[in-house]
């Protein structure tokens, strides 16, 4: 009788361990990508980079509504999503996937800066001119 109990306990532990190894838990990220100036949805290419610097996934958001969907992300990991298009500035957004024991779908929206004429971008103006000791006239933006 003891042999049957020990054998069944061993079998249960073996099957549960095998099941845990075969079922890799994944998480998904979804959301919209929009133009920062007009808040209109845009279709833009993106790369998802893992914490080791390797490209984890590539894709493009939907041009009609800006929707994107990334799956296969591992819980308790850090990633960075990189948007790159000719009409928009290249931007990197880091994000963390929290630790979870079941499938989750997280949502995150992104605003991308356009490279269009007439767009104002604040930047810091140095107070001195190059190779001169005179202080530059004007206001310094922060």
d(CA 115, CA 110): 16
| 77 vs 23, higher pLDDT | 77
Which one-letter DSSP state was computed for residue 52?
Answer: T
Q: What is the full DSSP assignment across 61-127?
A: --TTT-EEEEEEEPTTEEEEEEEEETTEEEEEEEEEEPP-SS--EEE--EEE-B--TT-----PPPS
The whole-model pTM stands at 0.64
Phi/psi zone of residue 24: left (φ > 0), alpha (ψ -120 to 50 degrees), beta? beta
| pLDDT tens figures, 30-48 | 999 999 888 999 999 999 9
**CATH number of the structural domain 25-112:** 2.60.40.2190
How far is Cα 131 from Cα 123, in angstroms, rounded to an integer?
21
Q: Where are the domains of the chain?
A: 25-112
- Which two three-digit tokens encode residue 101? 């024991």
Tens digits of residue pLDDT in 86-131:
888 898 999 998 888 888 899 999 999 888 776 666 666 666 667 7
């Amino acid at each position: 009788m003891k042999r049957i109990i020990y054998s069944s306990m061993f079998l249960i532990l073996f099957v549960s361990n095998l099941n845990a190894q075969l079922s890799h838990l994944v998480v998904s990220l979804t959301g919209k990508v929009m133009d920062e100036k007009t808040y209109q949805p845009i279709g833009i290419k993106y790369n998802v980079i893992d914490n080791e610097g390797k490209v984890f996934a590539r894709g493009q958001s939907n041009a009609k509504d800006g929707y994107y969907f990334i799956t296969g992300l591992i819980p308790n990991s850090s990633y960075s999503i990189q948007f790159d298009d000719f009409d928009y500035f290249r931007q990197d957004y880091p994000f963390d996937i929290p630790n979870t024991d079941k499938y989750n779908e997280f949502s995150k929206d992104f605003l991308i800066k356009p490279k269009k004429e007439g767009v104002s971008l604040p930047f810091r103006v140095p107070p001195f001119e190059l190779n001169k000791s005179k202080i530059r006239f004007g206001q310094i933006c922060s």
